[in-house]
Amino acid sequence: MRVTRVSIIVLTYNPQWEKLRSTIISVLRQNAEGMEIIFADDGSDYAYRDEIDALLNRRGIEYRFVGSGINQGTVNNIANAMEHVQGKYVKLISPGDFLYAEDTVARWVDYAERMKADACFGDCVFYSNANGGPSACSVADSPANIGVFERPIKRSALFVDYLLANDTILGASLLYRSDVFKAYIRRMAGRVKYAEDYSLRLMVFAGESVVHYPEKVVWYEYGSGISTGANQKWQALLHKDFEMTDEIILEEIPPFDAVSRRYISYLKQRKRSPKTRRMRKLMLFPTLLVFRWRMKRGRKTPAEVELGGLKRIIEPESRETKNAGN
């Protein structure tokens, strides 16, 4: 009987075919056993199903399409896709982002399993393809304070760094244990619209295991997504999603230790003036300033990286693309 170890969910909404095709190629190159692909479309005008069928035909990989038919937002799209997931672990990926190397998924899942991780994040290489060819970008990494995830993990340090200093983990770098992620994305569905990676805020609050995998896992297209774009409208929507996760914490997730109880105390005062909230936050979490100072001095991804693997994915005349059309 075939055992599905990992489900790759390709999230689409009116994608560009060139980017979507390259993302699919990066998945097809994986040597991971027990992998399935789920294409979760959020009501695109055209979802490229025929083109995807042609690309995956005779590949021997299980894949299927799910979708709502209407645009509902990223979180609802993912929640719908999670109802069809069979893998023990799940990886979300969007057009324009690519799995880093042929053995990325196999090694990543092995590590997450060995570390008993509920969420496992690796390192991303940021790239741009805007000026006639791919180039790496040197930008601040997320999270900047990687030390809070070193074993043994200090719960209070990770909590303050992630929930209070907002030293967030880039969503594209995450692999989740499917049953855990499904439970949290269900809580968010219908309330949080776009920022599925804010599920980590709920998970950190609840004490789930979040582990750093010290390997490159994704080529991440910098500057085009919601989180890295400069669009003020999107930033406002993300802030609304952020505040909604705090509402979910208050209403649905009971505190179980001293640091989570202090956070609940802080949230209950969130309707006060900004100055009062800031003072309350520092009184309850005095180490917050330390973590924010460390974030400003945090790590950056290198701009000098080998781009051969990226070029083999995105160049139209690559061998993988030619074979996919045969």
The domain over range 6-321 is classified in CATH as 3.90.550.10: yes
Q: Rounded distance, CA 90 to CA 118, Å?
A: 11
244/201 Cα distance (integer angstroms):
11
Q: Which amino acid is at 14?
A: N
Could you tell me the residue ranges of all domains in the chain? 6-321
* Contact yes or no for 54/143 (Cβ under 8 A): no
Identify whether the C-beta of residue 148 lies closer than 8 Å to the C-beta of residue 302: no
Q: What gap in Å lies between CA 232 and CA 227, rounded to an integer?
A: 11
The dihedral built from the CA positions of residue 23, 188, 180 and 239, taken in this order, carries a sign that is positive
Per-residue pLDDT of the chain (326 residues; tens, 9 = 90+): 678 999 999 999 999 999 999 999 999 999 999 999 999 999 999 999 999 999 998 787 899 999 888 999 999 999 999 999 999 999 999 999 999 999 999 999 999 999 999 999 999 999 988 777 788 888 888 899 998 998 788 999 999 999 999 999 999 999 999 999 999 999 999 999 999 999 999 999 999 999 999 999 999 998 765 554 557 888 899 999 999 999 999 999 999 999 999 999 999 987 778 888 889 999 999 999 999 999 988 777 766 788 888 999 988 544 444 444 43
* 114 token code pair: 């060995």
